[in-house]
Amino acid sequence: AAFLQHVVLQFDPCPVLCYLHAEMMRRMSPKEGRKQFQEFCHLFLDKAGLLRVPVPHHVQFELERSRPELLPEETQRRFLRDVQSLQEPEIRRQLEDFRSKRLMGMTPGEAELAELERGRARDPAGCEARERLLAQGLLARLEEMQIGVQTPLGFGVTLPEPLLKPPSPNLGFGPGSVRDPPPPQFGIFGSGSVRDPPNLGFWGPPPQTPPAPEPGGPGGGDPPPGGGSEGSVGRVEPELLEQDPPAWRERAAPEALRGLPQREVRRQEVLNELFLTEHAHVRMLRVLLELFYQPMLREGFFDEQELSNIFPSLEDLVEVHTAFLDSLKKLREESGFIIAEIGDVLLARFEGTEGSWFQKISARFCSRQSFALEQLKAKQRKDTRFSQFIQRRLPSAPRCPKIPPKPQNPPNFPQNAEEAAERSKVQRAAECCRQILNRVNREVRDMENLMKLKDYQRRLDLSGVKQSSDPLLNEFKNTDITKRTLVHEGPLTWRVARDKAVEVQVLLLDDLLVLLQRHEERLLLRCHSRALAPAPDGKRTLSPVIRLRCAMTRQVATDHKAFYVIASWEDGAQIYELVAPSVADRKTWCSIITDAAGSLKLPETLRGKGAQPGGGHGPPAPLE
């Protein structure tokens, strides 16, 4: 229940709600399950579903061909399992964030959870009853939040018994999980990417994952004139964030409230949520700065350069967000807490020079989460004093205030001339926010790909190609793949011959396709021969490295999951048959390989103008 509340407040709750709903239906009787399956499809699987989630290709295909209620019971239950499996990666990511936030006491019901854990040691027999009572209390709080979306899972009604228990041990939900809890992680970084929020683009805390390139590298730049000074951070009044600000209804004049039409009330609620969300985010940034960054520097755990890599542009972000919060606070007070126009304030923050600077420092801050976490965990393992420092600081970190739930409908603006101009300004600001989110997501993705390449480089075993006469393999022996861009990756089956297939991990780099074989923790590059014995001239030997410049793809007519990669050059050609896990994966691989190969054939001046296939934009700045 605590995890569910955390997800509703911080993430898109649709995957976990879908998983729990499917788990509940699998425990129903066949008659009741068949009745509920149609509603489940309309809610989660239909393209226009209110809580639409990613759907497996074969499930979507079957649902488009036939009505859900006409499917056999066994097919319905199989579809439920397949849909659950597709949601598990996102739920695991949310669960990791929940665990890391718990270390800082920033999860809903943290005090009650801590008391429950202490009580489990004293009285194991009564633990289950206390867990159920606490779960019901947390779910009651969730109902009080008045979430705009009403679902069959009980927002506004009592949740059924199965939802109060861990739905599956393999996901590690709560007590009873078969997995050991992960080592302490630093939840101060939040999630790894920023989702495009609805309406104005301000729902949930803005990017709060540390991360990124230094000034002068990718995303580098100078602050706008008059901004970016370090001294201004200390001028923030500590009392500003001691308590949650009052709601606008409490401060607005009663006679003004009575004269507001309903649509204007909804609009004021949206603006109030924007203010509260920014207030919560500034508080989180202050926690990072004052409880972690500054004490770490003062205690000498890291030097200033190292902390700049772990918390890049943190002071700049505190300054920028504090200034934005102050402008919102001033606007509320000057307008009597009923805001007529906010477009100018939004544009002043997100458009022009100020918006460009905000985009740069946000991208820096959010693109290095994986690197920063590795640095902090390594330091914690090696330095006992640092580990004790972290444990002492975590209980002192104040909880992140509740993020208000998003409204059911976006606000409507009247259509007279003045408010049409205001609407235009807000739409321009929303477009600026989308550009910021796109930039942040792109740099997060690029940094994650760089970290993956570093891991592949570390595990790469080139001993199998030392005796090869293939000039490309000879060149690859001394190549650092971290200098290239990871475009796409995934497991495929390499059909070397009719009776010979090899499982490979395929890396699509910006100019190469690399087929790696897993052997325990190592990744091997192995040549394979189509014949039982290698040919003396080596012509029937297939290299595990393919140049994309001379490659093309074709579908295998007899297998919808398989495709050919044909590598041709002046002296001949090689044909590779690869099999994807699904038809959708095969289409993705063919499309991305074709795009990557096509981009290499373009002139250099045109090649750099667009994003590389799969979202690559060249390697980020090197990590110190």
Model pLDDT, residue 539: 53
Q: Which residues of 480-508 are buried (b: 16+ CB within 10 A; e: fewer)?
A: ebbebbbbbbeebbbbbeeeeeeebebbb
Identify which has the larger pLDDT, 184 or 501. Answer: 501
Q: Band the pLDDT of 248: cuts 50, 70, 90.
A: confident
The token pair that represents 70 in the structure block: 């006409």
Structure tokens at 365: 């801050």
Identify the helix (H) or strand (E) that includes residue 507.
strand 500-509
- For CA atoms 213, 217, 220, 222, the dihedral sign is positive
For residue 495, give the 3-state DSSP assignment. strand
* Most confident range, picked from 231-245, 264-278, 500-514: 500-514
- DSSP label at residue 146: -
Structural domain includes residue 538: yes
Nearest to 28 by CA among 37, 19, 17: 37
Q: What is the DSSP letter of 223?
A: P
Query: Over the stretch 43-66, which tens digit does the pLDDT of each residue have?
Result: 888 877 778 899 988 888 888 777
Handedness of CA 10, 14, 19, 20 (dihedral sign): positive
Q: Which segment, 90-94, 122-126, 210-214, is predicted with the most confidence on average?
A: 90-94
If you ran DSSP here, which 8-state letter would residue 289 be given?
Answer: I
Distance CA 348, CA 352 (A): 8
Query: Is there a single domain that holds both residue 217 and residue 133?
Result: no
Q: Which of 426, 456, 486 is the last residue of a domain?
A: 456
pLDDT confidence of residue 495: 93
Per-residue pLDDT at 184 exceeds 50: no
The per-residue b/e assignment along 587-613, b for 16 or more CB within 10 angstroms, e otherwise, is: bebbebbeebbebeeeeeeeeeeeebb
Specify whether the CB–CB gap between 530 and 502 falls below 8 A: no
| Prediction pTM value | 0.58
- Cβ-based neighbours of 537, under 8 Å, separated by 6 or more: none
Q: Which of 90-104, 520-534, 541-555 has the lowest mean pLDDT?
A: 520-534
Q: How far is CA 494 from CA 502, 517, 580, in A?
A: 5, 10, 9
pLDDT, position 165: 32
Q: Which residues touch 69 (CB under 8 Å, ≥6 apart)?
A: 34, 37, 38
Average pLDDT taken over every residue of the chain: 75
How many C-alpha atoms does 58 have within 13 Å on its Cβ side? 15
Strands 512-519 and 522-524: antiparallel
Which pLDDT value is given to residue 224? Answer: 57
Strands 486-497 and 572-579: antiparallel
C-alpha to C-alpha distances, 85 to 18, 78, 81, 508, 586, nearest whole angstrom: 11, 11, 6, 26, 19
Mean pLDDT on 544-548? 90
- Cα angle value 259/260/261 (rounded, 5°): 120
Cβ neighbours for 410, distance < 8 A, ≥ 6 positions apart = 198, 199, 270
**3 pLDDT higher than 50:** yes
Region 401-413 average pLDDT:
42
- What pLDDT, on the 0 to 100 scale, is given for residue 320? 94
In a domain, 180, yes or no: no
pLDDT at 400 over 50: no
CA distance 406 to 202: 10
Q: Tokens standing for 200?
A: 């104005």
Q: 38 falls in which pLDDT band (50, 70, 90)?
A: confident
In a domain, 445, yes or no: yes
Are 381 and 480 members of one domain?
no
Residues 443, 471, single domain; the answer is no
Q: Which domain holds residue 105?
A: 2-171
Question: Do residues 314 and 389 share a domain?
Answer: yes
Task: Give Cα 42 distance to the centre of its chain.
Answer: 26
What is the CATH number for 472? 2.30.29.30
In a domain, 447, yes or no: yes
Domain edge (last residue) among 423, 456, 489: 456
Q: What is the DSSP letter of 483?
A: G
Of these ranges, 270-274, 400-404, 490-494, the one predicted with the greatest mean pLDDT is 490-494
* pLDDT tens column, 473-484: 777 777 788 899
Which 3-state string (H, E, C) describes 1-60? CHHHHHHHHHCCCHHHHHHHHHHHHHCCCHHHHHHHHHHHHHHHHCCCCCCCCCCCHHHH
Query: Measured between alpha carbons, how far is 172 from 106 in angstroms, rounded to an integer?
Result: 20
At 457, the amino acid letter reads Q
List the structure tokens of 208: 């709060």
Looking at the DSSP assignment, which residues form a beta bridge with residue 279?
none
Q: Please check whether residues 307 and 442 belong to one and the same domain.
A: yes
Query: Do 269 and 363 sit in the same domain of this protein?
Result: yes
Burial 340-379 (b: 16+ CB within 10 A, else e): eebbebbbebbbeebbbbbbbbbbbbbbbbbbbbebbeeb
Q: Residue 45 corresponds to which amino acid?
A: L
Domain end point (choices 127, 156, 171): 171
Is the same domain home to 41 and 83? Answer: yes
382 and 243 housed in the same domain: yes
Query: Of 49-53, 343-347, 463-467, 603-607, which one has max mean pLDDT?
Result: 343-347
| Cα separation of the two ends of the chain | 41
Q: Is residue 95 part of a domain?
A: yes
Q: How far apart are CA 18 and CA 22, in angstroms?
A: 6
* pLDDT tens digits, one per residue of 338-397: 999 999 999 999 999 999 999 999 999 988 777 888 888 889 888 999 988 887 776 555
Tokens read off for 21 = 């709903």
> In this structure, is residue 179 part of a structural domain?
no
What is the residue whose two structure tokens read 């309309």?
A: 42
Q: Classify residue 191: in a domain, yes or no.
A: no
| Beta bridge partners of residue 237, listed in sequence order | none
Q: How far apart, in whole angstroms, are the C-alpha atoms of residue 117 and residue 126?
A: 12
Asked whether residue 498 falls in the same domain as residue 579, the answer is yes
Please report, for the chain, how many H helices and E strands are present, in that order: 21, 11
Instruction: Pick the most confident of 26-35, 128-137, 321-330, 602-611.
Output: 321-330
**Residue linked to tokens 């690197």:** 371
pLDDT at 613: 39
pLDDT (0 to 100) of residue 411: 44
Q: Can you read off the two tokens belonging to residue 560?
A: 């919808």
Whether 615 has a pLDDT exceeding 90, the answer reads no
| Same domain? 276 vs 345 | yes
Q: Identify whether the C-beta of residue 419 lies closer than 8 Å to the C-beta of residue 26.
A: no
pLDDT of residue 318: 94
- The total number of structural domains that make up the chain: 3
Measured CA to CA, the distance from residue 109 to residue 115 in angstroms comes to 10
Tokens of 160: 């059924």
CB atoms within 10 A of CB 237: 9
CATH number, position 36 = 1.10.167.10
Return all residues near 298 (Cβ < 8 A) that are at least 6 apart: none
- What are the tens digits of pLDDT across the range 188-201? 333 333 333 333 33
Residue type, 613: P
- Cα distances (Å, whole numbers) of residue 300 to 306, 310, 349, 389, 393: 11, 14, 35, 12, 16
In a shared domain, residues 490 and 442:
no
- Residue 184: inside a domain, yes or no? no
pLDDT for the residue 417 = 67
Binned at pLDDT 50, 70 and 90, residue 561 comes out as very high
Considering the domain architecture, whether residues 397 and 287 belong to the same structural domain is answered as yes
